[in-house]
Amino acid sequence: MDNLDNDFPSPAAVSPSLEFALRLARAQATLVRRLDQVLGGYHGISFGDFMLLHYLNRAPGGRLRRVDLAERQGLTASGVTRTLLPLEKIGLVERQQDPRDARVAYAAITATGRELLNNAVVVAEQISKDLLRNCPREQFAALSDALGLIAGMNATNS
């Protein structure tokens, strides 16, 4: 009888950094799937839509250039444009031109978008707390800092 264990190579050992990256990717997928499901069910938006509204809401004047919004979301400029179109159609964001430079376009959160975001934050907070319930609170700051470093984030683009 053949030994089946000898038919397959043993798994290669991975470095702690690769293990972290693999776990991070799985955690991100779990988080997005859960938030998409709940935010979609309660508010009709995806987690990506929520993040976009969040970044606009935090920006001075509630508006950002599309390229800045793309950078915050980790998308291309065309990806942000595709994300913004349905939100513009339902009145959550609006397009604004720069009065001094017609080449510059801004995305701005509307009053309706701000109201929906304020309601959605309650749901997102609850889901986040639920997903992180087993993570020691004293580790949140260090983990958040590490993730910010990976994403190239700082205080002005978080």
pLDDT tens, residue by residue, 106-120: 999 999 999 999 999
Residue 28: give its domain's CATH number: 1.10.10.10
Q: Are 116 and 45 in contact (CB under 8 A)?
A: yes
Tell whether 149 is covered by a domain: no
Count of domains observed in the chain: 1
Q: What is the DSSP letter of 100?
A: S
Report yes or no on 144 lying in a domain.
no
Q: Is the pLDDT of residue 9 over 70?
A: no
For the stretch 18-53, pLDDT in tens is: 999 999 999 999 999 999 999 999 999 999 999 999
Is residue 2 included in any domain, yes or no? no
pTM surpassing 0.95? no
User: What is the model's pLDDT at position 151?
Assistant: 82
Q: Provide the mean pLDDT of the chain.
A: 89
According to DSSP H, which parts of the chain are helical?
Answer: 16-43, 47-58, 66-73, 77-89, 111-131, 140-151
- Residue 103 structural domain: 17-131
Query: Is 51 part of any domain?
Result: yes
Render pLDDT for 10-21 as a digit per residue (tens, 0 to 9): 678 889 999 999
Q: How far apart are CA 123 and CA 49, in angstroms?
A: 14
In this structure, is residue 35 part of a structural domain?
A: yes
